[in-house]
Amino acid sequence: MADDGHDAKRRRTGANSPVMALVDDSEVLVAHTTTGSFRVPGLIVSNHIFKVPLDHSGEEPGEIELFVREVTTPVNATRKLPYLLYLQGGPGFESPRPTEASGWLKTACNSFRVVLMDQRGTGKSSQVTVKNLGRHHKTPEAQAKYLAHFRADSIVRDAEVVRKSLVPRDNYSGRWSLLGQSFGGFCTLTYLSIAPEGLIEALMTGGIAPSVHEACPADQVYRACYRRVMTLNQRYYTRFPGDVAVVQRIVSYLAAQPEGGVRLPSGNLLTPRALQTLGLSGLGSGGGFERLHYLLETFFDTDDEVNPTFVKGFESWQSWETNPLYALLHEAIYCQGAPSRWAAQRVREEPEFAAAYDAVGAAVAGRPVLFTGEMVYPWMFEDFAALRPYAPAAHLLAEKADWGALYDVQALQANVVPVAAATYVEDMYVDYELAQATVRHVRGLRQWMTSEYKHSGIRDDGVRIVDRLLSMVRDTILLD
């Protein structure tokens, strides 16, 4: 990328060359490398690499690499446009890999230079894998200490490093817009708490974090989510009534195996409780019911044994091996000064839910077997082979009580950044009512509340959703 000459404190020396960019008023040097660009149909994609501190407070030494893609259209390549940072869902998932100009990204690129940042520990940003975590951090204590630096507060501070280096000072005073999906919306609220001065406007889709004023609302989150998942199970079996008997048969077969499940080629143990986790992808996203039905009907082969087709499908629905941060830090996204203590498991054992989510008990009693939703359990570090080495570290993180703050309620109450959110009333992943408890603390947040979409709205109808949120945040749609 050519030197734009907009700021004497911001220097670029071309592709494939390290650049030292002054990124803040304290004149801290940050290594910024541009590593070339390429085209996909309708888009130009430019790659950037930044070196950022592992611990932005400076208490823990070390640095990590942050990978960013800057996306624009050919017609806008030389135009001066505002920047839009997209923060994806998770935790622990990399940014989208654009293959063409389509969906929300095409719409956004008509008005912005879009920044796709692999959040720390994902994709090409010093990715945490099931292999390298144990290789570089030998003990559970060291692993837990390292992983504690991979939450929303660190992600936002990473984004600030990128913004101050990438966005010219004469482009909206160096500020950018923000679009956060799901966990990316949680990060958006952290951004509004930590560094609102860096934002022009903020959009959220299915991502208003629950009860940000509480130290750890995880118990409330899972009670609400288990109830929502019960409703979605009922709808699923209404759509596919024949699957009641199909799933009962599968559960009975798995429970009768010598290990209480079937050992898969990956080393995973397919147990009834592991089968229930198919609800994570099958119940809460557009098209999920259909995909779940077609997967289940492949379970048995002609000899009434497990069909390799099902095994391959089941494994492809699991992200534990490729995205371990999702399991290791999932409950920690709710914590700021209190431990989660395996909230999903504890709540599941409460009287309201224990019998309902007992797969074997339901099959024996002739009741529909309920799938679970977005919950991470301690037994996953037994049943899923890739996670087994990290069970001790996961237990340490579950008991960790001294998490730092993720949100500043006073800052949110004094917010002046225009904010708009698409809030999905029947969202399986982010509870509507608990989101409203947060909305009351965010000054000026405007909501589009709808039951038209599931959590995957931005994937299913991103053009309409992004257009509407931009209209809301810019007051071209006036809501009573």
Catalytic (active-site) positions: 182, 402, 455
201 Cβ neighbours under 8 A, 6+ residues apart: 177, 178, 417, 418, 419, 420, 473, 474
Please report, as a single letter, which amino acid is at residue 392.
Answer: P
User: What residue spans of 84-213 are helical by DSSP H?
Assistant: 103-109, 132-136, 140-147, 152-166, 183-194
Question: What CA–CA distance (Å, rounded) separates 12 from 8?
Answer: 10
Q: What one-letter code names the amino acid at 480?
A: D
Within 8 A by CB and 6+ apart from 175, the residues are 163, 167, 197, 198, 199, 200
The per-residue DSSP string of 355-382 comes to TTT-HHHHHHHTPPPPP--S---TTHHH
What gap in Å lies between CA 343 and CA 396, rounded to an integer?
14
Q: CB within 8 A of 455, min separation 6: which ones?
A: 182, 206, 284, 285, 424, 427, 428, 429, 430
Return d(Cα 451, Cα 207) in angstroms, integer: 15
Specify the pairing of strand 176-181 against strand 83-87: parallel
Contact 338, 216 (CB under 8 A): yes
Cα distances (angstroms) measured from residue 370 to each of 247, 283, 358, 374: 9, 11, 8, 13
Helices (H), 58-139: 103-109, 132-136
Kindly state the tokens that stand for 416.
């002046």
Residue 54 burial by Cβ neighbours in a 10 Å radius (0-12, 13-18, 19+): middle
Q: Where in 350-462 does DSSP place strands (E)?
A: 419-424, 445-450
Strand partners, 71: 45, 114
The DSSP call for residue 403 is: P
**Separation of alpha carbons 226 and 373, rounded Å:** 7
Q: Can you tell me the distance from the alpha carbon of 18 to that of 12, in angstroms, rounded to the nearest whole number?
A: 8
Of the candidates 64, 119, 53, which has an alpha carbon nearest to the alpha carbon of residue 86?
Answer: 119
Cα–Cα distances in angstroms (integers) from residue 90 to residues 22, 111, 236, 324, 414, in the given order: 30, 26, 25, 11, 28
